[in-house]
Chains A and B, each alone.
Chain A
Amino acid sequence: MKLTIKPLHQSSGTPVQGLKPTVFWRIGEDIPPSFSSLLIVLSVVVPFLAWWVLSTSGLVHPKFLPSPPQVINALVRLWQSGVLLQDITASCFRVGTGFFLAAVVAAPLGIAMGTFASIRSLTEPIFGIVRYMPAPAFVPLLIIYLGLEEPPKIALIFIGTVFFNILMIMDAVKFVPKELIEATYTLGGRRWQVLLQVITPYVIPNIIDAFRINMAASWNLVVVAELVAATEGLGKRIELAQRFFRTDEIFACLIILGLIGFAIDLSFRVLLQVSCRWAVD
């Protein structure tokens, strides 16, 4: 005798109501790599082509919207005269120094605040208030205190990034599993060992990520600082170009700023991949 299993739903011609398959609108799933690469290429090529078409169409005056070749010309010109390298070096130095100092302060302080409720109570309220004071509002004070040279610019970047770094690192510490800390105690660990050998390594990936995200703010601030008072720097170059109505140079500097930011972002991602393999994917 044949065993027949009665189907749960009698098929009656009408399709079952269900989720329709999709590629583009998948939620939380990967898309095919080739499709992904295509979209990535499009995301750069489409705006670039739109810019090119618009700038050569005659709809916009070339003084307002220079074409890609004009911008490349400007780039080459700035590079050959040596000012571009000088500007890049100056801006990178300010960002590098200011951000480095902020990182050196933020990492231990953020870890300490996340670890000890006492230090959190001691510092969180004041940091919470200062954090909401816009960093550029400090520029006049910084100029009065520190003059017009490098110190006020570095200080601005420091002020503008240190609190965000601290708070993000502090938050990361809250996600260290309590059981991991307790397990350490039951292995004979002391409190300082928990701090240095458990909590700190656990949050290093989050620290790298916090730095990557907050790096963007320091580039905003370096431009602000240079617009106010500087003799060189990418922000200064943009301000000078505006004075002489050189939109092609403004475009060139913006592209350089974007590329530098992108390169730094990428470096942080690579650093994370290489140094914290346990935490990625």
Chain B
Amino acid sequence: MHLEAIHVYKQFQTRQGSLMALKDINMHIETGEFVGAVGTSGSGKSTLLRLIAGLETPTTGKIKVDGAEVIGPGADRGVVFQNYTLYPWMTAMDNVGFGLKLQGIKPKERRVRVKEYLEVVGLSQFTNAYPKELSGGMKQRVAIARALACHPKVLLMDEPFGALDIQTKASMQEFILELWQRLGITIFMITHDVEEAVFLSQRVYVMTPRPGQIQRELSINLPLNRDHSIKRHSTFQDYKDIIVDLLSGRNVATSNSD
């Protein structure tokens, strides 16, 4: 899979006039990568993800998946939203199987895949639970399983752990990292949490405040098998500092020069 954004601009028409949310975005995601995007609130991260998902269309520029231009949403780009968007009248099982049902996959095959993905996210015991009976972390796992069950080319996540408490967030970060390695999936995740971006990503796009532009692309050269202890590592701290400086605009001069 090769996903790319080519000179993407996004303008919104608001009552106060037109608002430039994204400016000249060029980026790419390759098979098996874990790519992150960080930016302050309002820097257009969600807009970028929604453009890739096909929920919005670029004002100018193109987004291509394997050479084909994205013209709308589809099951080849799975999305996990920040707020748990599970169907409240469906059990965990039915939620995970819903995408397959929409695509007309027969109940028998559906059951097999649902079982498989509930196992993948460690929720086999909650097959028949309703969303309101699940904790925040579990709901997000169901949402991840639901997206993955459709075998998307890329999993797009918009601050998926933003609404979770610190402990749950930490365990979900390790969970998603482990899942990424085990399944060999491709993930694009946006966050305002610098530490989260460094901890999870192989490559990070750092965005500017509005209008959102990519000010820097950073490869994170940390071991693939990470756990939270790596956060104390000096290399980890260095990456964090670089991004924090970029986001606060302090280090703009040096970052532009190299």
- Point out residues on A near B: beta carbons under 8 Å: 177, 179-180, 182-190, 193, 197-198, 201-202, 276-279
**B137 at interface (Cβ–Cβ under 8 A)?**
no
Cβ proximity bits B230-252 to A, threshold 8 Å, 1 near / 0 not: 00000000000000000000000
**Is there contact, CB below 8 Å, between B83 and A188?**
no
**Is there contact, CB below 8 Å, between B85 and A179?**
yes
- CB-based closest 4 A-B pairs: A188-B75, A187-B99, A185-B73, A186-B79
**B146 at interface (Cβ–Cβ under 8 A)?**
yes
Interface residues on B, range: 20 to 34
**Is there contact, CB below 8 Å, between A187 and B75?**
yes
Given A187-B98, A197-B102: A180 touches B75 (CB 8 Å cut-off):
no
Question: Whole-angstrom distance from the CB of A87 to the nearest CB of chain B?
Answer: 40
**Is there contact, CB below 8 Å, between B88 and A186?**
no
**Is there contact, CB below 8 Å, between A186 and B73?**
yes
**B78 at interface (Cβ–Cβ under 8 A)?**
yes
Question: Whole-angstrom distance from the CB of B3 to the nearest CB of chain A?
Answer: 15
Q: Which chain B positions have C-beta within 8 A of A182? A: 53, 55, 73, 79, 81, 85
**B132 at interface (Cβ–Cβ under 8 A)?**
yes
Among residues of A, the one whose C-beta sits closest to the C-beta of B133 is A278
Among residues of B, the one whose C-beta sits closest to the C-beta of A185 is B73
A270 to B81, CA, bound (A): 34
**Is there contact, CB below 8 Å, between B89 and A183?**
no
**B203 at interface (Cβ–Cβ under 8 A)?**
no
- If A179-B83, A198-B87, A201-B89 are given as contacts, then 11 extra A-B residue pairs at C-beta distance below 8 Å, sorted by A number, are A182-B55, A184-B98, A186-B55, A186-B74, A186-B77, A186-B78, A188-B99, A197-B102, A277-B130, A278-B89, A278-B132
**Is there contact, CB below 8 Å, between B102 and A187?**
yes
**B200 at interface (Cβ–Cβ under 8 A)?**
no
Tally of contacts, chain A with chain B, CB under 8 A = 68
A276 to B87, CA, bound (A): 13
Question: Whole-angstrom distance from the CB of B174 to the nearest CB of chain A?
Answer: 25
Q: Which chain B positions have C-beta within 8 A of A189? A: 99, 102
**Is there contact, CB below 8 Å, between B88 and A183?**
no
B45-103 interface with A by 8 A CB criterion = 53-55, 72-75, 77-79, 81, 83, 85, 87-89, 98-99, 102-103
**Is there contact, CB below 8 Å, between B150 and A179?**
no
Q: Which chain A positions have C-beta within 8 A of B53? A: 182, 186
Q: Which chain B positions have C-beta within 8 A of A193? A: 102
A187 to B79, CA, bound (A): 8
**Is there contact, CB below 8 Å, between B102 and A279?**
no
Among residues of A, the one whose C-beta sits closest to the C-beta of B89 is A278
Given A179-B81, A193-B102, A278-B130: A186 touches B89 (CB 8 Å cut-off):
no
**B147 at interface (Cβ–Cβ under 8 A)?**
yes
